[in-house]
């Protein structure tokens, strides 16, 4: 069986498909509040479930178009004490923030939209700001996963978008590894955009979710890299698996907008990367983060030859402003690396 190559794929999503595609990824199709299992040693997790349920009730109580969050504040409609139109889940990676965000989305009647931060910025770029606001302003809820402000343009764009949507009565729920008033810190001249960042932060009630990364509780370290021969045999033995040279894939990712990475890996059962090594620069590293997120969303296993997946980002990168993004990517990719079919056969000692 010949493995397919991600480098041969050039996905394109038309503008009219973008709104319809704003739903939780397949991994979170079935999650609900009652499937979230709070860590008994972390009381903030149970409290977060209650806060998210209360917020979802406020959103569900919205009546008519426009001003919904204000009417729910004045007319009862929920127990969220702040009365703010936004809920912001802050915490480390692997504590279930995306699970809770998707649970809010599932608990709210349509119309509703769910997307990652990069998908939403791409949506605005593809549709134009006015059209994006028009199409989203009739929604009850906009859920934003992986909220980060990586450059000044994104800061201005998301401040305007959230301001326009909340004024129209749209509730906004978001997840991030960074408090809203600290967004952009360490990445660009955030002080120059402090007013915009503070304006954005004022829209959200912050709910903290603490705890260890559930993906690695009591689990072994990532598997050793395969040899090139083992990697090729694994890819050939799994239907719809892909096999790419790591450097070639990194070059190809530069030609595909990160919002299309989900489409890039659609239908792929397992990803195999030959000759993995540390990302050569920040641009490549951030593309790999986005790819890792989409693979995790779709539960696509990952196998590599070369260096360990934990070596994907340099020590300098892990000390920089994107540290949390890189650690999240490592966490997710290591979890996926345990799921390659037949991996246990390669690790079974012989003789």
Q: What is the pLDDT of residues 18-50, one digit of tens each?
A: 888 899 988 899 999 999 999 999 999 999 999
pLDDT tens-digit readout, 140-193: 999 999 887 666 677 788 889 999 999 999 999 999 866 555 554 544 444 544
pTM of the model: 0.75
The dihedral formed by the CA atoms of 270, 273, 274 and 277, expressed in degrees to the nearest 10 = -150
Provide the 3-class DSSP secondary structure of residue 258: helix
pLDDT digits (tens, 9 = 90+) for 300-335: 999 999 999 989 999 999 988 788 788 889 988 999
Domains parsed from the chain with CATH numbers: 6-12+219-347 (3.40.50), 31-212 (3.40.50.300)
CA-CA distance, 306 to 269, in Å (whole number)? 21
Return the percentage of the chain with pLDDT > 70, whole number. 81
Mean of the pLDDT values across residues 113-135?
Answer: 89
DSSP class of residue 220 equals: P
> 11 or 151: which carries more pLDDT confidence?
11
More confident residue, 177 or 259: 259
Confidence tier at 73 by pLDDT (50, 70, 90): very low
pLDDT tier for residue 197 given thresholds of 50, 70 and 90: low
> Would you call 132 exposed, middle or buried from its count of C-beta atoms within 10 A (0-12, 13-18, 19+)?
buried
Give the alpha-carbon dihedral of 19, 57, 174, 20, to 10 degrees: -10
Q: What is the pLDDT of residue 193?
A: 45
């Amino acid at each position: 069986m010949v493995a397919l190559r991600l480098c041969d794929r050039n996905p394109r999503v038309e503008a009219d498909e973008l709104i319809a595609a704003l739903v939780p990824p397949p991994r979170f199709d079935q999650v609900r509040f009652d499937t979230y299992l709070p860590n008994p040693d972390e009381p903030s997790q149970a409290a977060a479930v209650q806060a998210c349920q209360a917020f979802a009730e406020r959103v569900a109580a919205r009546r008519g178009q426009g001003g919904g969050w204000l009417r729910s504040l004045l007319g009862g409609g929920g127990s969220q004490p702040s009365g703010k139109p936004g809920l912001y889940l802050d915490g480390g990676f692997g504590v279930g923030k995306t699970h809770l965000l998707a649970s809010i989305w599932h608990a709210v009647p349509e119309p509703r939209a769910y997307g990652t931060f990069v998908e939403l910025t791409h949506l605005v770029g593809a549709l134009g700001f006015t059209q994006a606001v028009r199409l989203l302003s009739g929604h009850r809820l906009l859920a934003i996963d992986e909220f980060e402000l990586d450059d000044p343009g994104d800061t201005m764009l998301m401040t305007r978008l959230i301001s326009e949507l909340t004024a129209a009565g749209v509730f906004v729920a978001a997840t991030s590894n960074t408090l809203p008033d600290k967004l952009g810190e360490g990445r660009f001249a955030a002080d120059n955009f402090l007013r915009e960042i503070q304006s954005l932060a004022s829209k959200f009630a912050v709910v903290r979710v603490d705890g260890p990364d559930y993906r690695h509780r009591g689990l072994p370290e990532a598997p050793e890299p395969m040899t090139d021969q083992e990697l090729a045999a694994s890819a050939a033995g799994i239907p719809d698996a892909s096999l790419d040279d790591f450097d070639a894939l990194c070059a190809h990712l530069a030609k595909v907008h990160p919002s299309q990475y989900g489409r890039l890996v659609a239908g792929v059962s397992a990803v195999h990367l030959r000759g993995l090594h540390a990302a050569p620069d920040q641009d490549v590293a951030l593309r790999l983060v986005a790819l890792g997120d989409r693979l995790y969303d779709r539960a696509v296993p990952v196998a590599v030859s070369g260096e360990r997946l934990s070596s994907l980002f340099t020590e300098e990168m892990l000390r920089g402003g994107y540290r949390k993004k890189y650690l999240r990517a490592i966490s997710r990719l290591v979890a996926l690396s345990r799921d390659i079919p037949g991996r246990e056969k390669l690790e079974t000692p012989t003789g």
